[in-house]
Amino acid sequence: MSHEQHNAVDLELNAIEHALGSLTPSRSRLDRDQLMFRAGQAATARPASAGRRLWIAVAAGTGLIALGEAALLAHRPAPQIIEKVIVVRDREPVVRDAPTDPVVTQAPAAIRGFGAAPSFGSTAYERLTSQVFRYGLDGLPTPPSTRANLDAHKPSPPLTRQLWQEELLKTLEPGAPS
């Protein structure tokens, strides 16, 4: 676009701008204040619709339910504390014949420390964990076969302990550096 054409477009736009700027808005035939007053009168004069009555009834009903529950909670009896004393007596220790040799069968707890056999837990997981800590992977029970029989006529060989341990070591192996 050349410089003369650019000036010609600017002159035309300036002429339109001045023409629009010289216009004045005409006065409306509507009175805004009168319109709002009539709308307010119409809103308050009409009777409540069925939908509005329904919402008023629902709000009143839930308010009454909440008030009734509050009254029930305020007048409920205090909780009763029942005390029951149970006496548990230790059994008397069984007296056995003392061995002739003064052999210590168990070291005191302070001396045992970490070298003692771990206590077996109450859950299956705790027992299995302590068994693995004590005996290593050889202490694990033989797992059930998890291989799916793809061919019904050809059963898969049973998973031996050695194969299972090899699969476990492959799973735990970090792999080659990347």
Determine what percent of the chain is predicted with pLDDT higher than 70. Answer: 66
Residue type, 141: P
Residues 176, 168: Cα–Cα separation, whole Å: 17
- Tell me the mean pLDDT in the region 41-55: 81
Q: If you count them, how many residues does the chain have? A: 178
Q: How confident is the model at residue 7 (pLDDT cuts 50, 70, 90)?
A: confident
Task: Give the distance, in angstroms, between the CA of residue 29 and the centroid of all CA atoms in the same chain.
Answer: 63
Residue 82 has pLDDT above 80, yes or no: yes
Give tens-digit pLDDT for 65-78: 999 999 999 999 88
Q: What is the mean pLDDT of the chain?
A: 76
Give tens-digit pLDDT for 129-178: 888 888 888 777 776 665 554 445 555 566 677 777 777 777 777 666 65
How high is the pLDDT of residue 147? Answer: 56
How high is the pLDDT of residue 71? Answer: 95
Burial class (CB in 10 A: 0-12, 13-18, 19+), 6: exposed
- Tell me the mean pLDDT in the region 100-126: 56
Tokens coding 91: 């059994």
Q: What is the CB neighbour count within 10 angstroms for residue 129?
A: 14
DSSP-assigned states of every residue in 141-157 = PPPPP----SSSSSPPP
Least confident stretch, 9-18, 32-41, 109-118, 127-136: 109-118
Cα atoms in the 13 Å half-sphere on the side-chain side of 35: 5
pTM over 0.75: no
Residues 144, 158: Cα–Cα separation, whole Å: 9
Residue 84 has pLDDT above 70, yes or no: yes
